Amino acid sequence: MASIAPVTGRGPTTVDTLDVGQASAMPAEEVLAALGSGPSGLSDESAARRLRSHGPNAVRTHAVSPSAVLLRQLRSPLLVLLAAAAAVSFAVGRHPDAVIIGIILLGSVGLGFANEFRAERAAAMLHERIRHTAVCLRGDRPLSLDVTDLTPGDVVRLSAGEIVPADVRLLAVQSLTCDESVLTGEGRPVPKQTGPVEAGAALAELSCCALMGTVVHAGIGTAVVVATGGRTRFGLVALQLGTRHPETRFQAGLRRFSELLLGVAAVLTVAIFVINLLLARPLLQALLFSLAIAVGITPQLLPAIVTTSLASGSRRLARIKVLVKRLVCIEDLGDVDVLVTDKTGTLTRAAVAYAEALDPYGDPRPAVATLGLVCADPSARGGGNPLDVALWQAGLPEPVGWKVLAGVPFDHERRMASVLADDPDGVRLLVVKGAPESVLARCEDVPDRAEQVLGDRFAAGARVIAVASRPALDVTAVSPADEARLHLAGFLVFADPVKPDANEAVARLTDLGIAVKIATGDNALVTAQVCAQIGMTGPLVLTGADVDRLDDAALVDAADQATAFARVTPEHKARIVRALREHGRAVAFLGDGVNDALGLHAADVGISVDTATDVVKDAADVILLDKDLHVLADGVVEGRRIFTNTVKYVLMGTSSNFGNMFSAAAASAFLPFLPMLPSQILLNNLLYDTGQLAIPSDRVDPEQLRSPSHWDLHLIRRFMLFFGPISSVFDFLTFAAMIGVLHAGPALFRSGWFVESLATQTLVIFAIRTRRTPFFRSRPSTLLVFAAGAVVLAGVLIPYSPWAAVLGFRPLPATFLLAVGVMVVAYLALVEGGKRLFYAEPAGAPAARWRNTAHAVGRRAARFSHRRHARPLRLRTAARPRLRAGRRPGWDRRR
């Protein structure tokens, strides 16, 4: 592999020779020197020069290549064989047939190319609007840069909830731990430090490094980038998996369906070819006819239909205030059957209001509010912790004369914050406020009445924090260890009323087959009260302590049964999500605080809101412009609508295409001529496909949206075998009318069957698109009606057109057109009756969805996407992962 031009730094080693394994065995100062960097990072000029040399920090590309899209249209071996056969036909003197086949093939390829290219450009524009950023030092100035703009030598800052943006050598850490399961399979967070490790250490033992694609579980750190893009350990794995984005269950189902039809096409093609040879028909004619049959049964426009549906779906979602970062997120959203959500702002109004200050006996005591303000974060005056914001906005008297000296900020393990402060009289106190359970556990001589006061407020649905203090006369610094031997001052009570429409929103999600579960840091009694107010009767509430007591296997069942989880930490939330996914459930997680980032990364679909913190929005797959469960329900419905419309195309292809092609195979066995010329079959298929492009616009019945969207290949196979023969029955009736009544020759026979087959396979969409009575109880979209009508009209008019003779058609008698109309109506009526019988059989339970490491890597790799290509680099260390046979890292090309 050609080497990449080195970038010379101030140290003795070029950046191209330094990978994370080597950096882990070197002191941090030597790593900086080797990379030609320093604690203040690179200069803008040096960074720009290196970025030009190394390329973007990307393992995926969203560049749209017209040639790649065109190649996907041409990669069908059937099309290639048909084009080759047409060329041979032209060479042996059958010029008109060859030219007609060539024109129709070009039209078919052009139709697929135009639609898929347009949808690909829409997807690329979506990627361009989404930014994943990292904080980087450039000349000692902290900048927020796109992760794809990082280059070796950059100094970056890491904080909880972020994805590590590259392979980095740590320079400084504070309680830093990382979740590296995406690379190592180790589910527990790994503590990090800055000292070098032994040379040749395994990937899981690189404690002084953080790896691209892993999640910062807790703490903060500063690090220097040593490898980017395809040079990283994550990048190597991602590139080995191929350049495609992760295959969803929906896409896998489409692939298996296409393989099924290709198998059917192969059998029919061989059978028809052999039959025609046995009937002593010309070899070239037999080959063209059998290949045309195979092309007719394959779903050539399926990729275009799916991509077009998703692209138009993303635009509709944007109109209903739902933004998706990647098109496949729409499919995942429709697949969701469990939603884990926070409480504040989703189910409650998020307008947390200060209500009262009470002493331990429940009597009003304003001094407690003063202590609460002393301990409150002063930056919350402009936003932040909602309880501190509510205190500052309550109009309470300012704590004049108090002097704060030191403090320990709130964290989700202690669930408390504390400050060391001098009161107006100069008395030094340690003031602590936080979750009542945590504060009371550190207090002495708590009156029994305090527990009752707490219980009454919790039962009323109020949010309560406890405030305590103790003298600290000779203390100059404070740590969590000092939060002991406290005296309970009292309680601060806040109101956070439930949204008026929360009950309706939860009921709507339940009607959509989605189990709603609450995960909150609030008290269990308050959580249970909120559950009761929104109609979640008889809630089973697990606390964080309960989660800690359960091992992973026990938590799987407990999480599935629970309605809500109270007093949970960020790690609890991620663990709960992973446990729910063990049941094969598709889990969405909705959150907007930094403490929600781990849950978002663990979920199948991470959902946040536009007002969330940057870390959380970066972790999310879907952004809601309104933090409203109704908006989320609208997004789920749109995802399912797209899935349902795609399945309509699939079911129609299995019923009508299979039936028509089977009829052609049977007719060729007993007719003295071909039932339809290869060019006529291809023209029929082209017109049919053109009409199907309107399917993504179709309406969907409400009952089709009431359960998660699951792919069912068994149902599709049954549908093909049930309705395909019904289509063939009417084809045989057409044959009988043409031969027995009209005594048709080859041209008239082909014209009649062309019109009848095109009409039946196009109009059957109106019966297949719904389980209701078409038009009367389920109206199709106007565009679909227009498209289907236009295709049928074109099919009827072609035998009367100036090109009819060239195409091998002749005008049809009016009596036959009338007979065709009667047969089409009878066919649709029979399909409608068969539909009632077919759907009377109960559907089986959907298969559980299991997602492997490849899916996790592919999904996370999507954030490292660039319009340019990713560059892998052959590592010179023994730790380089083994590549699959026949694959080597290379330029990342459009899928």
pLDDT digits (tens, 9 = 90+) for 338-353: 999 988 778 887 678 8
Burial of 174 (0-12, 13-18, 19+ CB in 10 A): exposed
On the question of pLDDT at 799 being above 50, the answer is yes
681-703: average pLDDT: 84
pTM above the 0.85 mark? Answer: no
219 vs 566, higher pLDDT: 566
Residue 623's pLDDT is what? 85
- Among residues 465, 527, 518, the alpha carbon closest in space to that of 494 is found at 465
The Cα diameter of the chain in Å comes to: 115
Q: Give me the DSSP letters along 148-213.
A: GG--TT-EEEEETTPBP-SEEEEEEEEEEEEE-HHHH---SPEE--SS---TT--GGG-TTEE-TT
pLDDT at 2 over 50: no
How far is Cα 440 from Cα 568, in angstroms, rounded to an integer? 18
Could you give the C-alpha distances from 206 to 190, 233, 880, in angstroms and in order? 10, 12, 14
Tokens for 333? 């959203």
Could you tell me the pLDDT band of residue 124, with boundaries at 50, 70 and 90?
low
- Location of structure tokens 């031997």: 485
Known catalytic residue: 146? no
Interval 200-208 mean pLDDT: 87
Parallel/antiparallel/unpaired status of strands 605-609 and 428-434: unpaired
Quote the CA–CA distance of 430 and 482 in Å, as a whole number.
8
* In the block, residue with structure tokens 């850490």: 173
Query: Confidence band (pLDDT; 50, 70, 90) for 853?
Result: low
Residues 19-31 have a mean pLDDT of 89
% of the chain exceeding 70 in pLDDT: 82
**pLDDT of residue 130 exceeding 70:** no
Mean of pLDDT values over 628-640: 87
Greater pLDDT, 104 or 143: 143
Phi/psi-derived region of residue 461, left when phi > 0, alpha when psi is between -120 and 50, beta in every other case: left
Judge whether 607 and 622 are in contact, CB under 8 Å. Answer: yes
- pLDDT single digits (tens) 448-486: 999 999 989 988 888 899 999 999 988 888 999 999 999
pLDDT at residue 800, rounded to an integer: 93
Instruction: Please choose, from the candidates 662, 607, 27, the residue with its C-alpha nearest in 3D space to the C-alpha of residue 340.
Output: 607
Q: Are 360 and 280 in contact (CB under 8 A)?
A: no
Mean of pLDDT values over 301-309: 68
Instruction: Tokens for 803, please give them.
Output: 């090109």
Query: Residue 7, SS3?
Result: coil
pLDDT for residue 731? 86
pLDDT for res 881? 39
More confident residue, 99 or 796: 796
- d(C-alpha 858, C-alpha 809), whole Å: 52
How do beta strands 416-422 and 403-408 pair? antiparallel
User: Cα separation of 617 and 130, whole Å?
Assistant: 10
**Please, which pLDDT band fits residue 886 given cuts at 50, 70 and 90?**
very low
Say if residue 704's pLDDT is above 70.
yes
For the chain, the average pLDDT equals 81
Q: Which residue would you say has higher pLDDT here, 317 or 309?
A: 317
Active-site residue (options: 342, 546, 596, 731): 342
Intra-chain end-to-end CA distance of the chain, in Å: 22
What mean pLDDT is predicted for residues 308-319? 77
CB-count exposure of residue 715 (10 Å: 0-12, 13-18, 19+): middle
What letter would DSSP give residue 474? Answer: T
Instruction: Tell me which H or E stretch contains 407.
Output: strand 403-408
* Bridge-based pairing state of the strands 322-324 and 622-624: antiparallel
Helix 658-670 to helix 746-763 angle, to the nearest 10 degrees?
160
- pLDDT for position 484: 93
